[in-house]
Amino acid sequence: MSQVGTIFRREFASFFATPVAYVFITIFLVLSGVFSFFIGQLYERGQADLLPFFNFHPWLYLFLVPAIAMRSWSEERKSGTIELLMTLPVTTTQAVLGKFFAAWAVLGLSLLLTFPLWLTVNYLGNPDNGIIVAAYLGSWLMAGGFLAISLCMSALTKNQVVAFILAIVVCFIFVLSGSGVVLDAFQGWAPSIVLDTVASFSFLTHFEAMAKGVLALNDVAYFLIVMVIWLVANHMVISQKKAD
């Protein structure tokens, strides 16, 4: 377990040694502000909650999480450090987890830094802070789902751009699998059980209640399972294809 911590510290520090974390956090804060106020009409709605803020998170994560995850494994492959890492007494599981938690921590930090919004609604009215905390947790969980997918895509290639695009595509499918764009492809030929299963993969559907502050067990479990499955896939990709 201490090895996970060591990898975590290295990865976390590396986000801040390069401009990646700063750029990411800045863009995240600016965009979430813009979305909440100008598109979500946080102010004009006259309600003391952060629903407009959380509603845009799936769309923000769709581009930003692949961006922060794309270099994780690609860079190791490109610079050859994967050979160093994999010949140190670190198991693939420890490396996968260390990398995941480090990036997830950066995402968590970005979320925490949106606290001025929370201060704002508390200044303007009396929101239910329990709901807001729950929604924050839900958003962080969903970010973990995006992250696990993106890391797995990063493990597939040594080219960061390819990793980024693959991650966006797969994430996009997961975000929209409950909506017409994806379901239409199955409509008409697939049995309804397939249709329902595909629809139940949707990040949007599972996040809907969470954004309102309801942490239902099935939604929480859904995102945890997504993370586990993609991290296992990540592990398989790395152990099958270490070189090149």
- Which DSSP string corresponds to 15-32? HHHSTHHHHHHHHHHHHH
Q: Shortest Cβ distance from residue 2 to another protein (Å)?
A: 8
- Calpha distance 11→96 (Å, rounded): 11
Q: Shortest Cβ distance from residue 32 to another protein (Å)?
A: 27
Reported residue count of the chain is 244
Closest CB to another protein among 12 and 222?
A: 12
Closest CB to another protein among 21 and 148?
A: 21
Q: Shortest Cβ distance from residue 24 to another protein (Å)?
A: 15
Q: Shortest Cβ distance from residue 7 to another protein (Å)?
A: 8
Residue entry with tokens 């309102």: 212
Q: Shortest Cβ distance from residue 237 to another protein (Å)?
A: 15
Angle at 159 (CA atoms; ends 158, 165), nearest 5 degrees: 125
- Calpha distance 146→151 (Å, rounded): 9
Closest CB to another protein among 3 and 47?
A: 3
Closest CB to another protein among 79 and 200?
A: 79
Closest CB to another protein among 97 and 168?
A: 97
Question: Whose CA is closest to 25, among 36, 11, 15, 17?
Answer: 15
Question: By the criterion CB under 8 A, which residues form the site for another protein?
Answer: 3, 6-7, 9-10, 13-14, 17-18, 79-81, 83-84, 86-91, 242-243
- Calpha distance 139→123 (Å, rounded): 23
